[in-house]
Structure 1
């Protein structure tokens, strides 16, 4: 009897098309070089044509509103050519993901090289039901954004390792973690570093209408909590129903470890690691919990630009390095300091390909910012939506879609909001009953999160490509975008539905924060 071949759905054919076209493009390093070259040429044409925009913008440092004119800046005039040559090194060394990745990988490399991660994963595999692993990976990704960018360099590669340990496709685990970390950026059970920043910008935008208005950092907290469960559920469904079946069985070179019992030496190592971990956490708590804790800001705050949050990357490094070191001592996989240094060096040796990719990606991102092309696109997009004449919920949905589109070109949530808030916060405060700035902010955050995972301009996108190439050397932008697109579309649709339900119920979106103005 002939085997019946299952026909692919139209959507799967569409994703296959994106992957095929995307992967026929040059290597990501070459592609980012071409992108950079395109920005150079387009910037010169736009500058010669006198392309500019005038808009009311909030200064993110002072939060003062002022009329600003932005002109396209050429990279082919004297100043632009000087910029490309003189700033090439600082563009690379100042590339946000670079230091974060390398510093965190020092600690992760020790934990992996000594065998700690392998032992913990075997314990995890033996004690966790297989059906719950996807839920755990997506949820952990969402919660990781409280630690700024650490989730990108810790949880995304860890998601791949966890899935591989369960005999599942590692790229599905990588995608699930990436979807949680980046696609779920505006969901969390806790208040993170971006909340006070966005609240401050919303406050100043609201003062255009009401000089006494104040948007608290907790303005979207209730909605964020509900969103955490929504994105966890949606991320799990997309991973298991669409992404993993499409990827099929993993046939790469990375080997699936045999899941066996933990040996006596490994148990001893885990005990050493556990004790050192508890001591490390106690020290960090002693530096953070007291009202005058050393890692608190001078005003006593923990969240925001505080020593604790600014130092989160070295804390993450020590979080892995210290237990990894003591595991190595207990399990006798480390015999002396030379072994430790060698292990750390080996973890850095694997980052060569990433460093090359980061160099060209950094130039592209900085060229785009220098030329003002992203800002011009954002302002024109906002002006287009304002000119449509939409009101009420259609305007809110249009606003979310425009925010998602602009996010493809400007990665920074605060930079986009500084441009869009002075336009949309006052406008929506005067529509119908008057939408609150808190509600406008939460709508913006939905659009801002959902397209992170498909934008090559997102600073960590190049990092994720490099992680994926560890398991499939042929992985390119096409593979990653086609893999992440279902998450992006489902998250956007699901979040819009949640917002509409929230609107119909009329529930508060945060403590003392409502949909309409009081």
Structure 2
């Protein structure tokens, strides 16, 4: 085994980002510190009489506009609410239910081997000149499998590029750009949609009361992201990165480095498993079509207004994706021999919940931050004041959303978790833009663009060291700076086209997904200042 090469000492902006980010606490403690800070701010704001005039709500008794005042989180009422409602605050945190339900099914599909086999099948027989776009596309779609795309597709892409006579690190870079840089792009909604829209729903409810998030609210937008991101990754890989890397030779790996295992063809069982999984997917899709269009139309509320008739359908999509992943994974596992009896299936579901242990701890802290932010009324006051400031700035709507993309991309260099960042930003951004007539779906879409683009250039991203190891398997002197420099052109390209996409989407007022638009009526019937998301 060749001696490991130490990563170079980073200087400049990358070195500063690495040093600063390493000093940040774990996201769980970050939320706890924020809760402590929120308590202090709420006390100061209450004593200072911080308030705002609600732009739409009117006091029925006086006929005057409602005044929202800041409430101290150390008041007797809020202290009692914190301890009495703690179980409810945690269990009613919307992302928790969404993610756990979807992961019950996705965990089976991952552990049965469906995701890994499907990604191998998608790239191994691709023509040489189409390797890059196919690897990138499979990477973006592979995000439905969460972490599986990182640990299966990215090293596999290096092997496939090597077998095709191309530089292996170019394949790793293209896959990394697709999986991580295109983290929010996809052809179907999945786990990330459930996670983000759960947080969006909680942010709306903390200020405006009851709201139902549409898990497919960004469907058309993420498909468009896939279409515009794909040529960027293709161009950067083939025209910039691979020429810069030069021709790969075995000497780059070191004389004593073992030969990487070659990609093996699919077995008969794996092929049979993919066929069975495909039939299971078709069966679930057909079942939902029957529920939506068949007798009785249980997923359409015929008694509701036209714009609300599909609400049951949108609400059912979380359960639909659970069933799709579960049955497809089970069908694959039975055919491929990776699942025995029903006890194996139950164990896989239980193991997938074990993987969510850290998320449960994070959700506990995030749930209380979001709820307490609502109790203080600071979110509504900041939304009203922020909306007034933005309205007086004269900036067009597209410019406001572009600013959100840039801010999110910068913040992503320091806080890698998509859910942690959105839980911090959503309680302010979502209500503030709703008061300007921007839908929660559009604000979420703008956030997703910024959150994806800079994933691949920050050493604080949890898989960044793993990708470095994959690269060093082929080139032993490939250091941290080498990886950052390799991925920077992808990051810049994805961010630029993402900004154009957001601006064009707002300018053309295109639908973001089924039943989801860019603009909305400013909410007229909102919650009272004391209503909270956990009620």
Q: 1:92 aligns with which of 90, 97, 104?
A: 90
Q: How does 1:286-365 map to 2 (within 5 A)?
A: 286-290=290-294, 292-299=296-303, 306-365=311-370
Corresponding residue of 1:148: none
Judged with a 3 Å threshold, the aligned counterparts in structure 2 of structure 1 residues 377 and 514 are, in CA distance, closer, same or farther, namely closer
Structure 1 residues 33-432: aligned runs within 5 Å: 33-57=32-56, 67-128=65-126, 129-133=130-134, 135-136=136-137, 140=141, 154=144, 156-157=146-147, 159-160=149-150, 161-167=152-158, 168=172, 172-180=177-185, 229-230=227-228, 233=231, 259-290=263-294, 292-299=296-303, 306-388=311-393, 390=394, 395-396=396-397, 399-400=400-401, 409-411=425-427, 415-421=431-437
Structure 2 Cα separation of the partners of residues 368 and 487 of structure 1: 37
2:472 maps to: none
Worse overlay, 330-339 or 400-409: 400-409
Distance apart, 1:259 and its partner CA:
2.6
Q: What secondary structure is seen at the aligned counterpart in 2 of 1:416?
A: helix
Return the alpha-carbon distance in structure 2 between the equivalents of residues 451 and 123 of structure 1.
31
2:181–2:494 CA contact under 8 A, matched in 1: no
Distance 2:498 2:64 in 1: 33
Instruction: Name the SS for the 2:386 alignment partner.
Output: helix
Partners of 2:102 and 2:318 within 8 A in 1? yes
Q: Residues of 1 paired with 2:283 and 2:441: CA distance?
A: 39
User: 2: distance between equivalents of 1:114 and 1:134?
Assistant: 22
Q: Any conservation in 2 of the 1:165–1:257 contact (CA below 8 Å)?
A: no
Q: Structure 1: how far apart are the matches of 2:233 and 2:429?
A: 22
Structure 1 CA distance for aligned equivalents of residues 278 and 81 of structure 2 = 50
Deviation at 1:56, TM superposition (A): 1.0
Deviation at 1:20, TM superposition (A): 2.6
Contact 1:58 1:418 in 2 (8 A): no
Structure 1 residues 78 and 279: alpha-carbon distance in aligned structure 2, compared to 1, 3 A threshold? same
* Cα drift, residue 43 of structure 1: 1.1
Deviations 1:272-317 (A, max 9, x none): 3233333333222222234852222225979875322111112111
Structure 1 residues 374, 178: CA separation in 2 closer, same or farther (over 3 Å shift)? farther
Number of residue pairs the alignment of both structures matches: 408
Q: Is the 8 A contact 1:43 1:75 kept in 2?
A: yes
Q: What is the RMSD of the two structures over their aligned residues, measured on CA atoms?
A: 5.2
Give the TM-score normalised by structure 1.
0.62
Partners of 1:123 and 1:414 in 2: CA distance: 40
CA deviation after TM superposition for structure 1 residue 21, in Å: 0.9
1:381-431 per-residue CA deviation (whole Å, 9 max, x = no partner) reads 22223444x4xxx5556544666669863358763343223xxx9xxxxxx
Task: Report SS of the residue matched to 1:420.
Answer: coil
Structure 1 unmatched runs, 5+: 1-6, 60-64, 142-150, 198-219, 250-255, 426-439, 456-464, 473-482
Alpha-carbon contact 2:110-2:329 (below 8 Å) kept: yes
Q: How many Å separate the matches in 1 of 2:148 and 2:360?
A: 20
Match of residue 22 from structure 2: 23
Contact 1:222 1:509 in 2 (8 A): no
CA distance in 1 between counterparts of 2:32 and 2:489 reads: 28
Cα shift readout 1:224-278 (whole Å, capped 9, x = no counterpart): 9877744555677789989xx9xxx9xxxxxx98631111222332333233333
| Equivalence for 1:428 | none
Q: Which runs of 5+ in 2 are unaligned?
A: 1-7, 159-171, 202-217, 245-251, 253-259, 409-421, 455-459, 468-485, 512-516, 520-535
